[in-house]
Amino acid sequence: MAPTATVHMAVTEVDGRPAQLVWDTPPDLDPPVPRRVAAALGLRPHRELLQLRRSLPIPADQPARARAPHLQLRRFDPDRDAQAWVSANNAAFATHPSQGDQTLETLAATLAEPWVDLDGFLVLDDPDHPGELVGSCWTRVHEPTGADPELGEIFVIGVHPRHHGHGTGAALVLAGLDHLAAQGVATGMLWVEADNAAALRLYDRLGFEPERRRRIHA
């Protein structure tokens, strides 16, 4: 008998009409029922995400550490860094379906969320462009829920395109995971677009493994 797994589905409505269907499954499961429901609602494939996890802390001899550059990171300062972060983030996610259109207003709204801990929001200054950022790693801690343990999430990780190719992204992820581990979090987690091959290669090198697949029809 084929293995079974729980599938979580949720429908979002706008003006009383279905606008989006989201379902989560184990990473290798693709049940037909949610797709049939989506088709019946007139919804088409929109996004597919993977949730990746790895244990913390990351060992000191993890090979990715040796290749990652040493970064002089600091804590995000809302008064000083807001515009610089929005600009660097939107450049990093210029083609992303949801993260590339941040504004000062959307950033302020997120910063007002009760989970935000600015000690876990790390930024890297651009030495060649004063007042600008090379990139950032913003972390979040999720309390245990259901079958999930406490999770330390890489909430947003981004590097300005002009700084790609130097290992900065890996170093930022490692810094974020090290911060989470220092808080006593034992499991790191992040979401990534399922078709982002470059990011998936990076996270594989860092020891992440697929935990969950999320499909979105809209």
Determine phi and psi for 5, rounding to 5 degrees: -155, 155
Q: What is the reported pLDDT for 96?
A: 87
Q: What is the reported pLDDT for 17?
A: 72
How many residues would you count in the chain? 218
What's the N-to-C CA distance of the chain in angstroms?
Answer: 33
**In the block, residue with structure tokens 């979580």:** 8
The superfamily CATH assigns to domain 52-211 is Gcn5-related N-acetyltransferase (GNAT) (3.40.630.30)
Mean pLDDT of 40-66: 94
Q: What is the reported pLDDT for 6?
A: 59
Give the residues across from 144 on adjacent strands.
none
Question: Does the pLDDT of residue 15 top 80, yes or no?
Answer: no
Domain ranges in the chain are 8-50, 52-211
163, 197 Cβ separation under 8 angstroms: no
Mean pLDDT of 83-91: 98
**In the block, residue with structure tokens 């200054």:** 125
Q: Return the DSSP state at 162.
A: G
Q: Return the DSSP state at 166.
A: S
Question: What's the pTM value of the predicted model, to 2 decimals?
Answer: 0.90
